[in-house]
Amino acid sequence: MIVFFKHTATHAQMAEMQLHLKQSGFDSQLVPGQRICIVPKLVDQELLSHFSFISHTQVIPHAFQLSSREFKQETNFQVNGVQIGTNFANIIAGPCSVENEKQIFETAAFLAKNNIKFIRGGAYKPRTSPYSFRGLGKEGLKLIHEAAKTYQLNVVTELMDLSLLDEVATYSDIIQIGSRNMANFYLLGELGKIHTPILLKRGMQATVSEFLLAADYILSGGNEKLILCERGIRSFDPLSRNVMDIGVIPLIQSLSHLPIIADPSHGTGDARFVNALAKASMVAGANGLMVEIHPNPKAALSDANQALSFDAFEQLLAELELIKPAIQKPIDATYSLVV
């Protein structure tokens, strides 16, 4: 249940209600900056009927509350004037890792030429092997920030650890949380306290419910600027890096008000298949794409196999333009989910 307070409600009154709930066996959480309280296990509205400072209540039939479509119909926000969240809107592109000044400036110039507004690139890279290239660190953040500033782009880069939050937030416009950190719940809670938009990737083995509950960790902290990203889930098939779960895009849109984009680069792990999965994601209703590109993919220091060349990326853009007129706004529907 979500409890909505009247504008006249005081902090003392809210605390009084929370104490009443606690004594009745229900945990609750106030959402900072919003006059609402989450009581996830409460369905009996009579328990709160005598509190006159409550405006109304709403029972949400899912474990996830604030990310649900019952709570809100649609999330839209802007990043430096660029609209996020309505239909198919944006493409985020760039290398897996910031490698040097020439590479990232060349990529930024190419993106600006193609009217792409978001550049991605990792400065701190979570790699399976400790012997793989793990990024340039702060130097990489400075390089991608300067390249973006020069070509009027917005930076999307990954945060690996809470200790790096201030540093990453200083040089980025959207903070990416990778699949390995989707279940880092303390980190997610801290991200709810900041105002920088967050791009949350689905965990490698996460269910849809777990994905949306991770989103609730951020939303319940007060940060409403949140984008979800489907990037494929781990399978048993050694010939496929991941299972690109295209079906989860319309499913999540039926359950949640949050925008969802697709990452076909990680979803396939093979540049040959990125275009097909990108187009499929767009047709499925994705609000955008995240695509890895590189000036010279064969020389990339990380994820070389899945990076598109500039020519291949321009071919993808041309094919996406042909599809756009046929894309309709996702149907406003509900879906029964057992959690």
Domain boundaries, the chain: 2-58, 77-326
Residue with tokens 């890895």: 292
Out of 3.30.420.130, 3.20.20.70, 3.40.930.10, 3.40.50.720, the CATH code matching 77-326 is: 3.20.20.70
DSSP 8-state symbol, 308: B
For strands 29-30 and 36-38, give the pairing.
Answer: antiparallel
Name residue 288's beta-bridge partners. 90
- pLDDT per residue rounded down to tens, the chain (339 residues): 999 999 999 999 999 999 999 999 999 999 998 899 999 899 888 999 999 999 999 999 999 999 999 999 999 999 999 999 877 779 999 999 999 999 999 999 999 999 999 999 999 987 778 878 888 999 999 999 999 999 999 999 999 999 999 999 999 999 999 999 999 999 999 999 999 999 999 999 999 999 999 999 999 999 999 999 999 999 888 888 899 999 999 999 999 999 999 999 999 999 999 999 999 999 999 999 999 999 999 999 999 999 999 999 999 999 999 998 887 554 444 444 443
For residue 216, which phi and psi values (nearest 5 degrees)? -65, -30
- pLDDT of 125: 81
- pLDDT of 329: 54
Distance CA 111, CA 119 (A): 8
Helix (H, G, I), strand (E, B) or coil at 123: coil
Is the pTM here over 0.85, yes or no? Answer: yes
H helices of 31-184, in order, are 101-113, 138-150, 165-171
Contact 259, 228 (CB under 8 A): yes
For residue 109, which phi and psi values (nearest 5 degrees)? -65, -40
- pLDDT of 338: 42
